[in-house]
């Protein structure tokens, strides 16, 4: 299926011969063959299934093996990866990927990753690679500007929202509770992402320390219930320290009233954290900015570029309005590092290793910086606006589609709905929805997901993938109709 690249002259060369350090010709060949595969891959994305799980276990079995002592032909390895392994499972890059919150990976990020993987800069301490560390810090600065934060704001790029939530929670714990935090309590709505539960667990809190506050009819945290709970806890001798607002819930994309939550937190001397892993980058758009109003009141904010900024997985971000608070929760000194990073350079930036648990890690900033510089923020703003438009259109259509009811209209680009039929009991309706989803995902043209919302099985569409345009959404609605009335 593949033609070799026109600029490769040494077909059939033995790429394992040179060992760990390939010749320039071998490098060309390594890149050329992948370039062909990658371009063919992108070319076929439009027609790729959004999910394909048939025979997936057998395919996975192809790579269960002991460590090979000798090398194997490159082409056969690429064939295995591109033709067998990649196609199984959920296709996060497909236009029909409407299930989970992921943006599909932007090609330019892969180029940035190639550069950082080749040059291997160490950005943990500013002085070790000032230029590249500054690239990452500039990206952080762009994000802080987007939120509307002052110069002493800062942050760090992490592997994802989960790690970012953990570090935020620990910073809050450290600042407000100190070492003896056994009685501490934190608050979030019953729609909160489970990475917050996990962060609380990892940070050493017993399970009941996280108080799940009921959400209202629009799935937003009920501030009246929060007020009551905090007062009750105080009275009982507990130590409330942290309120978490979600800017884009996983179930329905609901955005808590950040303005009021922020005021509440401030009046009650609580740390205010906003989990904007999904919704944060909609702040680049006018509509998103309006919905996210109040996010600037947060002490810490989590963003996930690998969701609403279309970067590949492994790109999360934690921002702090006062970066020193993040630093005091994560900074330690050691003789070997203090000596090693003192290069005599006047560092005016904070070092990332002092803001998170990570010391050695890959550079993440270039995969944001390069596309932003190359394409401009406008390209991202337009893509996000498109997702908002498509979600609004989907909600409008579903509200009038026979056999469906809309459960949550999109505040951002996610909507929740159910298959409905008059006269069916709750459990019967749940079963109907399970069946519709199962049928639809088996067909694989589009991929959707479901969740329990206020105890009812609910379907959801998340329009966030880079390549989900109007045609993919039309297919999605068509598939829903077909699977509802088979």
How far is it, in rounded angstroms, from Cα 35 to Cα 41? 10
* C-beta of residue 42 within 8 angstroms of C-beta of residue 107: yes
List the one residue from 288, 316, 371, 410 that touches ligand PLP (CB under 6 A). 316
> Least CB distance from residue 461 to ligand PLP, whole Å?
15
How many CB atoms are located within 10 Å of the residue 268 CB? 16
Q: With contact defined as beta carbons under 8 Å apart, do 429 and 453 qualify?
A: no
DSSP at 365: T
Name the minimum Å distance from CB 312 to ligand PLP: 12
Of 51 and 165, nearer to ligand PLP (C-beta) is 165
Task: Identify the CA nearest to 183 among candidates 222, 235, 223.
Answer: 235
By CB under 6 A, name the one of 48, 97, 215, 250 that touches ligand PLP.
250
Closest distance between ligand PLP and the C-beta of residue 350, in Å? 23
Q: Which is nearer to ligand PLP, 132 or 200 (CB)?
A: 200
**Binding to ligand PLP, residues 257-276 (CB under 6 A):** 275
Q: Which lies closer to ligand PLP via its Cβ, residue 121 or residue 253?
A: 253
The residue from 132, 139, 277, 383 that contacts ligand PLP (CB under 6 A) is 277
Phi, psi (deg, nearest 5) at residue 134: -70, -35
Could you tell me which residues come within 8 angstroms of residue 127 by beta carbon, excluding any fewer than 6 positions away? 341, 342, 343, 345, 347, 351
**What single string gives the DSSP state of each residue in 131-190?**
HHHHHHHHHHHHHHHHHT--TT-EEEEESSHHHHHHHHHHHHHHHHTTT--TTEEEEEET
Q: What is the closest distance, in whole angstroms, from the C-beta atom of residue 225 to ligand PLP in the complex?
A: 20
Question: By CB under 6 A, is residue 121 in contact with ligand PLP?
Answer: no
Q: Is 33 in the site for ligand PLP (CB under 6 A)?
A: no
Q: Which residues within the stretch 285-314 sit at the binding site for ligand PLP (CB under 6 A)? A: 304
Which residues contact residue 1 at a Cβ distance below 8 angstroms, ignoring those fewer than 6 apart?
40
Minimum CB distance to ligand PLP, residue 140 (Å)? 17
Residue 306 vs 330, nearer CB to ligand PLP: 306
Give the rounded distance of the alpha carbon of 248 from its chain centre. 12
Measured from the CB of residue 162, what is the shortest distance to ligand PLP in angstroms?
A: 3
Residue from 48, 116, 246, 465 touching ligand PLP (CB under 6 A): that is 246
Radius of gyration of the chain (CA): 24
Alpha helix segments (H runs only) across 376-425: 377-400
Question: How many contiguous H segments (helices) and E segments (strands) does the chain have?
Answer: 17, 13
Does position 28 interact with ligand PLP (CB under 6 A)? The reply is: no
Contacting ligand PLP within 135-174 (CB under 6 A): 160-162, 165
Q: How far apart, in whole angstroms, are the C-alpha atoms of residue 83 and residue 428?
A: 41
Question: What's the min distance (Å) between Cβ of 176 and ligand PLP?
Answer: 22
Residue partners of 70: CB distance under 8 A and separation at least 6: 16
Q: How many residues bind ligand PLP (CB under 6 A)?
A: 15
Residue nearer to ligand PLP on the CB measure, 246 or 468: 246
101 near ligand PLP, rule: CB under 6 A: yes
Evaluated on CA atoms 156, 161, 166, 172, the torsion sign reads positive
Q: Does 195 bind ligand PLP (CB under 6 A)?
A: yes
Sole window of 245-253, 266-274, 380-388, 474-482 interacting with ligand PLP (rule: CB under 6 A): 245-253
Does residue number 193 form part of the binding site for ligand PLP (CB under 6 A)?
yes
- Distances from the Cα of 12 to the Cα of 25, 82, 334, angstroms: 12, 19, 51
CA 368 to chain centre: 14
Q: Which residue sits closest to ligand PLP, CB atoms considered?
A: 161
The region of 10-18, 244-252, 322-330, 333-341 touching ligand PLP under the rule CB under 6 A is 244-252
Question: Which residue in 205, 219, 278, 281 binds ligand PLP (CB under 6 A)?
Answer: 278
Task: Calculate the dihedral angle through the C-alpha atoms of 352, 355, 360, 366, rounding to the nearest 10 degrees.
Answer: -40
**Pairwise CA distance, residues 86 & 80, whole Å:** 9
Footprint of ligand PLP (CB under 6 A): 101, 160-162, 165, 193, 195, 246, 248, 250, 275, 277-278, 304, 316
């Amino acid at each position: 299926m593949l033609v070799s690249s026109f600029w490769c002259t040494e077909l059939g060369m033995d790429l394992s011969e040179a060992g760990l350090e390939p010749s320039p010709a071998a490098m060309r060949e390594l890149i050329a063959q992948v370039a062909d595969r990658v371009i063919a891959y992108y070319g076929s994305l439009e027609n790729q299934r959004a999910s394909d799980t048939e025979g997936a276990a057998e395919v996975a079995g192809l790579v269960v093996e002991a460590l090979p002592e000798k090398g194997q032909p490159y082409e056969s390895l690429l064939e295995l990866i591109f033709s067998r392994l990649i196609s199984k499972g959920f296709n996060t890059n497909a236009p029909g990927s409407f299930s989970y919150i992921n943006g599909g990976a932007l090609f330019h990020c892969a180029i940035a990753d190639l550069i950082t993987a080749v040059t291997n800069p160490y950005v943990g301490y500013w002085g070790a690679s000032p230029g590249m560390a500054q690239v990452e810090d500039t990206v952080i600065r762009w994000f802080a500007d987007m939120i509307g934060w002052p110069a002493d704001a800062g942050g760090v790029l992490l592997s994802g929202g989960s790690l970012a939530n953990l570090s935020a929670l620990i910073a809050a714990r450290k600042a407000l509770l100190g070492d003896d935090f056994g009685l501490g309590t934190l608050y979030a709505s019953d729609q909160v992402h489970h990475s917050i539960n996990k962060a609380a667990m990892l940070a050493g809190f017993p399970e009941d320390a996280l108080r799940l506050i009921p959400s209202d009819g629009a799935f937003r945290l009920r501030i009246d219930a929060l007020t009551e709970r905090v007062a009750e806890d105080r009275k009982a001798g507990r130590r409330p320290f942290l309120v978490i607002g979600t800017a884009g819930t996983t179930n329905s994309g609901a955005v808590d009233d950040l303005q009021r939550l922020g005021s509440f937190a401030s009046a009650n001397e609580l740390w205010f954290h906003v989990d904007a892993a999904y919704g944060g980058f909609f702040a680049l758009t006018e509509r998103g900015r309006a919905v996210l109003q109040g996010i600037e009141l947060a002490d810490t904010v989590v963003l996930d570029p690998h969701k609403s900024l279309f970067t590949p997985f492994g790109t999360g971000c934690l921002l702090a309005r006062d970066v020193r608070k993040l630093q005091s929760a994560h900074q330690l000194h050691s003789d070997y590092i203090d000596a090693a990073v003192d290069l005599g350079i006047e560092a005016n930036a904070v070092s990332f290793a002092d803001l998170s648990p990570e010391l050695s890690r890959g550079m993440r900033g270039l995969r944001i910086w390069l596309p932003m510089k190359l394409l401009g923020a406008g390209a991202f703003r337009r893509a996000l606006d498109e997702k908002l438009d498509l979600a609004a259109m989907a909600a409008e259509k579903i509200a009038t589609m026979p056999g469906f009811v809309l459960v949550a209209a999109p505040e951002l680009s996610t909507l929740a709905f159910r298959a409905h039929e008059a006269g069916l009991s709750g459990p019967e309706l749940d079963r109907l929805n399970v069946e519709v989803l199962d049928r639809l995902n088996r067909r694989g043209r589009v991929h959707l997901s479901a969740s329990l919302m206020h105890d009812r099985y609910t379907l959801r569409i998340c329009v966030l993938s880079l390549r989900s345009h109007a045609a993919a959404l039309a297919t999605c609605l068509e598939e829903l109709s077909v699977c509802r009335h088979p």
